[in-house]
Amino acid sequence: MRTQIDRARTSAGVPGPQPGAWAIANLRAVRGRAFVRVVALTRDLPLLPFETVLPVMAVAAYVYLYRYLGAPPGLATMVLLGGVMITYWQNVLWAMASQLYWERMNGNLELYMLLPTSRVSILLGMALGGMFATTVRAMATLGAGLILFRVPFILPEPLPFLALALSSLVALYGLGMMLSSLFLMWGREAWHLASLFQEPIDLLSGVFFPVRALGPVVAGAASLIPLTLALDGMRQILVPGGQAMGFLPLRTTIAILAAMAIVFPAVARVALNRVEHLAKREGRITARWQ
Amino acid sequence: MAMNIARLHPGLRRWLTSFWAAWKVLSNWTDPLLFGFYLILRPMATMLILVVIVHAVGGGDRERLMFLYVGNAFFLLLMAGALAAEVIPNDRDWHNTIKAIYLAPGSYMLHVLGWASAQLTTGAFSAAVLLTGGLLVLDLPLAIQPGRLILVLALTTMAAFALSLLLASLALFAGQGSELIRGGTIGAIYLLSGLLFPPFILPSPLKELAQVNPMTHLATLFRASLGLPVAVPDLVGLSLSVTALLAAAICVFRHAFRGVIRAGIIDRRHNY
């Protein structure tokens, strides 16, 4: 599309775009789409307790369940980390995977298709804005949990933790970018699919218990979900004695997550191109109720 | 003989049509078999999480497993109330019909209760499947006591209606993010309703909060109605407290609805 515009400009004698204009336009698109998510943190104040305080209560329910069952304190830290990571998963499901479908219902998707930038920039902006907003909420949950439950928490090796956190976030949001195109193609079922990906994923990812409790076959299959590996790795680093509850060695976990961080965004790009094709050639996808 | 719905009272007509429309929206996105699977899969996953926890940490204690299992089945009924609050983003953001529904004869509150009734129907189905599974697969010694079960189901319906109205009141003022309201409320219900553990495990003041929460006593009565060895709560006091909760929820919803009408934000949409 860019080439056609450039040709038209040249034949009309209009000066061509400045070098790097394409990259700058895309960076602006990323910033613009991320910006609304960042400012939304303070614009939707009635939801603030539901984003920060009440998720702690869900975690607390499982912490007290473990106490009721007479579990050691390290397991409470494990549950707290599960509660923090589930915040990211919910954001990936509801604000990434379902977002293009939601944008179609609101009429924004057609505008996205007309933009003189890559559609990946829009998704990248969504992901970066979502990551920032969710990190603020997740840190509130973690801080409140650490203060309220006084659970043991350590960070002996910051570098592996940073590598794990970064690869986990990119893999998770890459999966969200990929699912957003697929959910759009699946139509009305998207909303229900997002609902379906909650409790079963909580179970398979071992959000509230070490995933190795599911056995090697189920835990191995569940490792295709980045949340499973992210949780397993974080517990090994941050929970005292956490290596005993790990499913895979930490280095392997980070390596698989890094691979996912490359594969998922690449597949997302292919899926987005397919959506764009359907939208432009067949007039499908962008209109409501399709 | 087909019923002529036009002859019904406008309020009853509103409730019935909302119930029917909600059922259609909830169920007709796929074929009935997949929908039935969907209704079972989510609660089954939650139940399996609890079963794994009890086996991995609690050494498979049957008594505690029974407590958790029945408490979680009961939770599905309460959650129906929380889910019904999605009627607001559905009407406002999804279908853009909130103004038309507001202008139609009958109260908007009955429209919310129609949605809550449809959600309760699906929740009751999921709970029944789970309990049957507990009876047949896990061999849990459940013994239904019909009188108590009818009473607790009636009171739980009222509590779920109250929950739907309270959360819908909030959703009227909130923008995008009904799943956050639902998720947050589920956490509070889990913690303060004695569903996973007895309230005495909690520290003060959470313990006191759980003890004054009518849902804690409803959960106890539900366990008693299925033959679990628990002390039956004061039925008159429980009925009064649930009625008071519903009355308070009706007042809050009416006040909130008047508020959004006066502020002119009933159809305000968010998107980020």
Dist CA A237 CA A158 (whole Å): 9
A189 Cα to chain B: minimum distance (Å): 6
AA identity, residue B185? T
Neighbours of A98 (CB within 10 A): 23
Contact yes or no for A58 and B183 at CB 8 A: yes
Partner-chain contact B179 A94, CB within 8 Å: yes
CB atoms within 10 A of CB A165: 16
| Winning range, highest mean pLDDT, from A144-158, A189-203, A235-249, B54-68 | A235-249
**A277 Cβ contact list (under 8 Å, min separation 6):** none
pLDDT at B261 > cutoff 60 = yes
What would the pLDDT profile of B42-65 be if each residue is shown by its tens digit? 888 888 888 888 888 777 788 888
* A92 neighbourhood in chain B, CB within 8 Å: none
- CA-nearest residue to B197 within chain A is A65
Task: Scan for tokens 């397993």, then name that residue.
Answer: A232
Contact check, Cβ <8 Å, A50/B184 = yes
Confidence of residue A37 (pLDDT cuts 50, 70, 90): confident
Q: What token pair was written down for A249?
A: 């060695």
The predicted-structure confidence for B97-122, as pLDDT tens digits, reads as follows 899 999 988 899 999 999 999 999 99
Whether the per-residue pLDDT at B268 is higher than 90: the answer is: no
* pLDDT for position B105: 82
- How high is the pLDDT of residue B117? 96
Taking the C-alpha atoms of residue B173 and residue A77, their distance in angstroms, rounded to an integer, is 35
Residue A237: predicted pLDDT: 92
CA distance B1 to chain A (A): 34
B211: pLDDT confidence band, cut at 50, 70 and 90?
Answer: very high
Q: What percent of chain B has pLDDT over 70?
A: 96
What radius of gyration do chain B's Cα atoms show? 19
pLDDT at position A254 over 90: yes
Mind listing the pLDDT tens digit for each residue in A96-124?
888 888 788 777 888 888 888 888 899 89
Positive or negative, the CA dihedral B144, B150, B152, B156 is positive
Backbone angles phi, psi at A188, to 5 degrees: -60, -20
| d(C-alpha A229, C-alpha A205), whole Å | 8
Smallest Cβ–Cβ distance between A69 and the set B57, B195, B198 belongs to B57
Closest CA to B54 of A241, A77, A227, A208: A208
More confident call, B169 vs A241: B169
Q: Do B174 and A46 touch (CB under 8 A)?
A: yes
- Amino acid letter, B211: Q
pTM: 0.81
- In SS3 terms, chain B reads as CCCCHHHCCHHHHHHHHHHHHHHHHHHCCCCHHHHHHHHHHHHHHHHHHHHHHHHHCCCCCHHHHHHHHHHHHHHHHHHHHHHHCCHHHHHHHHCCCHHHHHHCCCCHHHHHHHHHHHHHHHHHHHHHHHHHHHHHCCCCCCCCCHHHHHHHHHHHHHHHHHHHHHHHHHHHHCCCCHHHHHHHHHHHHHHHCCCCCCHHHCCCCHHHHHHHCHHHHHHHHHHHHCCCCCCCCCHHHHHHHHHHHHHHHHHHHHHHHHHHHHHCCCCCCCCC
Tell me the C-alpha distance between B119 and B202, whole Å. 30
DSSP annotation of A185 reads H
pLDDT of residue B177: 63
End-to-end CA distance of chain A: give it in Å, rounded. 26
Please report how the helices A189-196 and B32-56 are oriented relative to each other, as an axis angle in degrees rounded to 10: 10
A124-176 confidence digits (pLDDT tens): 999 999 999 889 888 888 888 888 888 888 888 889 999 999 999 999 999 99
Q: Measuring CA to CA, which residue among A286, A191, A210 is closest to residue A248?
A: A210
Mean pLDDT of B193-204: 90
pLDDT at A30: 92
Q: What is the pLDDT of residues B135-180, one digit of tens each?
A: 888 888 889 999 999 999 999 999 999 999 999 998 888 766 666 7
DSSP letter assigned to residue A15? P
The pLDDT of residue A248 is above 80:
yes
Tell me which residues of chain A, numbers 122 to 161, contact chain B at a CB-CB cutoff of 8 Å.
none
Q: Could you give the dihedral angle defined by the CA atoms of residues B45, A90, A192 and B73, in that order, rounded to the nearest 10 degrees?
A: 30
Mean pLDDT (chain B) is: 88
Q: pLDDT tens digits, residue range B71-106? A: 999 999 998 998 898 899 888 887 888 999 999 888
Q: Nearest CA to CA, how far is A8 from chain B (Å)? A: 35
B13: tokens are 């007509």
pLDDT at A289: 58
For residue B164, the model assigns a pLDDT of 95
**Exposure string (b/e) for B153-167, b if CB count within 10 Å is 16 or more?**
bebbbbbbbbbbbbb
Pick among A69, A103, A112, A136 to test the B interface (most B CBs inside 10 A): A69
